[in-house]
Structure 1
Amino acid sequence: MTVAFPITPRLRPLLLFAGLALAIVATEHAITTRAIFYQHPALPVAVVFDLLVVVPALFYWLVVRRYGLPLSTVGAAVGACLALAFWLLPASRQQPLRALAFLPALLEGAALLAAAARARRLWRAYHAAREQLSWGPSLGLALEQVLGLPGVVLVAEATMLRYAVLGWWAPVEARPAHAAFSGHCESGFVALMATAGFLTLIETAAAHLVVGHWHPVAANWLTFLSLYTVLLLVAHTHAVRLCPLLLGPQALVVRVGFAWQVAVPRAAVVAAAISEAPAPAADTLNAAKVLLASPNVLLTFAAPVVVAGPYGTRRTVRRLALYLDQPQEFIGALAGSASA
């Protein structure tokens, strides 16, 4: 007697990807363990191509598109495949993987070349955005509109580097006739970020020594990723410190570092004090999470608004939870303007 376990249609793409990925990995393992692998220089390149191109492509077509996952999951899949490639390939045949160290520079160079080729469109988009925004956001918006995804990545990386390197001396990004409300002074955010960065550096040094004993190339990649994480923490800390919430005569500009940003007419938003995070919902965004704090202000918009996130992400929300150092002062200022 046999028992059949029906497979729901929703699981079929995931199981198909898992089967194909396992078949590819098993095939690559069989190839890399045979003597013929060392006799043909093209085989390591083929293995790297299968693991870093074919498997992520299958993941995108069968999983990401089918289940509506964010594109960032493809990056996670590429990272997992990269670790798998280091594990499968012998140390003497990892030259194709070492060449990948130049990939980020090549991608950014390609984006810059594309920007140069579309300089006229860039200037028009920048000039149109400059009527409402400062030069930095205007340039970023123009790059995103003209270059698409490469422009989004280029702007995100440039913004991160700007805050990480220049944030130590940069002034607070305020505007005339706007009241600024910070969200980092009373929560201990800076101390938490400093602690996280310090612990990451210690962990990086320890991991480099341990992993480097068996796999120097993998240790270098881990060190690079860890240092990039520290750089991101520094940039995030400066961005939160330099980009307070701004309440102007006509608009409310919400900025949570460079993680979330939105500008709305101040008459189209109502603020209320809260003591805990709102219940998770599709139209609710808890922006206080990136501050490692519990929200104390809940903004409710008259209509759904699009909140811009990192690397071109967007969230359409009706409610936005924030942490502010002076929540009552902000609520009073917003309510006072509404009554006036």
Structure 2
Amino acid sequence: MTFPRRFITPRIVAFLLLTVLLIWIEMSVARTVTFSQQPIVLSIGVLFDLVFVTTGVFYWLVAKPLRLASSRLIFVALLMLRVALFILPQTSLLPNQIWPFLVVFSEGLVLLIAGLNIRTIVRTYRNLRLTTDAETALRGSLTTVFGKKATELIIGEGLVLYYLLLGWRLRSDIPVDAQPLTTHRQSGQIALVIGILMVGVVEGSAVHLLLARWHPMMAFWITLLSGYGMLFFVADIIATVKRPSYITANQLHLRLGVRWRATIPRSTIATSSLISEKPTKQIGQLNGSFLTIPNVLLTFNEPICFLGPYGISKEVCQFAFFVDDPVAFVRLVAEDS
């Protein structure tokens, strides 16, 4: 079996030779006396050379001329990161010291790829924005560069920052002929989230002080994760208020904060019923209510794909959630059922 010619071009051969040469040089550096004297600084240098330099060379020699998908850059970068960690002595980089580098590396790689493809992203976004909302257009434009799975992870992070920083400026994007569907006014969701945030600040501070005496770095990361969780709650509330669900003549657009979203053809809704408690858990069922008991249960005559944060998706046959005016909503859905 022979490989296609595009995979044995002089450019690819040159990239492979340069990569092998660079790996040999870095292996030599990792075994010098100077490396043992300055392990942290030189380890970061080795990581930078093997990951960023190699990825850059791959882009200019291979990806750009052959017009390969930018997702190949991520694959090369992760592969070279694995090679770098294999080359470096185990004692040169402690986990506490390498994790901050990995976080910065992942964020920097995404920004680098986005910058290299900014024209494609902007052009695709503008085209999609003519017929869709801003979030859907952004998701579609990033997918053309990063692929679907990577885009969902990027969007998951980006939406939290977007609603935290710009959410208060958002205007309604509900179509003129659509019926808004709010879920936060009667549920007490905002008050409950504020209460959780207050308790989280107190408990997080106490845990941080206790862990700081025993393991300062662990205390830092646990506090960072706790803080991110609280920011997620804030972003979810802002998104819920500023970007509610709505129903049109043909579709039900469910947008529950930054947690769940789905576009449901009204013809697929078999029944809509009022409930007063959380339904018994079963396969194909999803509870979309947050910090409250659902009051409406939708049953579909075919599975509906619900999209969650960070690329999570679920095929759903029944969906329970809270609506501020459940009676009016059930009546509205039943009109075309």
TM-score, structure 1 normalization: 0.66
- Checking the alignment, whether the CA contact within 8 Å between 2:296 and 2:321 is kept in structure 1 is yes
Paired position in structure 2 for 1:328: 327
Paired position in structure 1 for 2:223: 223
Letter in 1 for 2:273: A
3-state SS in 1 of match to 2:132:
coil
Between 195-204 and 144-153, report the one with greater CA deviation: 144-153
- Residue 206 of structure 1: CA displacement? 1.4
3-state SS in 2 of match to 1:168:
helix
Change (3 A) 1:273 1:307: same
Change (3 A) 1:222 1:324: same
Deviations 1:253-281 (A, max 9, x none): 01111211111222331321122222222
Change (3 A) 1:94 1:214: farther
- Residue 134 of structure 1: CA displacement? 1.7
- Checking the alignment, whether the CA contact within 8 Å between 1:283 and 1:317 is kept in structure 2 is yes
3-state SS in 1 of match to 2:168:
coil
Distance 2:169 2:130 in 1: 27
Paired position in structure 2 for 1:279: 280
- Checking the alignment, whether the CA contact within 8 Å between 1:173 and 1:244 is kept in structure 2 is no
Paired position in structure 1 for 2:207: 207
Paired position in structure 2 for 1:10: none
- Checking the alignment, whether the CA contact within 8 Å between 2:39 and 2:93 is kept in structure 1 is no
Distance 2:92 2:219 in 1: 17
Distance 2:304 2:210 in 1: 48
- Residue 94 of structure 1: CA displacement? 7.3
Q: Kindly report which structure 2 residues correspond to 1:137-148, keeping only aligned pairs within 5 A, or say none.
A: 137-148=136-147
Change (3 A) 1:107 1:286: same
Deviations 1:38-66 (A, max 9, x none): x99879x8xxxxxxxxxxxxxxxxxxxxx
Deviations 1:6-25 (A, max 9, x none): xxxxxxxxxxxxxxxxxxxx
Q: Kindly report which structure 2 residues correspond to 1:1-150, keeping only aligned pairs within 5 A, or say none.
A: 96-119=95-118, 122=121, 126=125, 129-130=128-129, 132-148=131-147, 149-150=149-150
3-state SS in 1 of match to 2:276:
coil
Paired position in structure 1 for 2:178: 178
- Checking the alignment, whether the CA contact within 8 Å between 1:144 and 1:155 is kept in structure 2 is no
- Residue 136 of structure 1: CA displacement? 2.6
Percent identity (aligned): 31
Letter in 2 for 1:278: P
Computed over aligned residues only, the root mean square deviation of the Cα atoms, in angstroms, reads: 2.8
Change (3 A) 1:329 1:126: same
- Checking the alignment, whether the CA contact within 8 Å between 1:272 and 1:298 is kept in structure 2 is yes
Change (3 A) 1:183 1:210: same
Distance 2:238 2:280 in 1: 29
3-state SS in 2 of match to 1:212:
helix
Letter in 2 for 1:307: F
- Checking the alignment, whether the CA contact within 8 Å between 1:254 and 1:262 is kept in structure 2 is yes
**Residues 1:258 and 2:268 are matched in the alignment:** no
Change (3 A) 1:302 1:309: same
Change (3 A) 1:315 1:229: same
- Checking the alignment, whether the CA contact within 8 Å between 2:133 and 2:173 is kept in structure 1 is no
Letter in 1 for 2:182: S
Letter in 2 for 1:134: D
Q: Gaps (5+ residues) in structure 2?
A: 1-35, 44-90
Deviations 1:138-175 (A, max 9, x none): 11233235313332221111111111222234344423
3-state SS in 2 of match to 1:144:
helix
Letter in 2 for 1:178: A
**Residues 1:166 and 2:171 are matched in the alignment:** no
3-state SS in 1 of match to 2:264:
strand
Letter in 1 for 2:174: A
Paired position in structure 2 for 1:36: none
The number of equivalent residue pairs is 252
Letter in 2 for 1:282: I
- Residue 244 of structure 1: CA displacement? 1.9
**Residues 1:306 and 2:305 are matched in the alignment:** yes
Letter in 2 for 1:249: A
Distance 1:164 1:173 in 2: 18
- Checking the alignment, whether the CA contact within 8 Å between 2:250 and 2:265 is kept in structure 1 is yes
TM-score, structure 2 normalization: 0.67
3-state SS in 1 of match to 2:176:
coil
- Checking the alignment, whether the CA contact within 8 Å between 1:296 and 1:327 is kept in structure 2 is yes
- Residue 178 of structure 1: CA displacement? 1.0
- Residue 125 of structure 1: CA displacement? 5.1
- Residue 131 of structure 1: CA displacement? 5.1
Distance 1:120 1:114 in 2: 12
Deviations 1:79-101 (A, max 9, x none): xxxxxxxxxxxxx9975523422
- Residue 123 of structure 1: CA displacement? 5.5
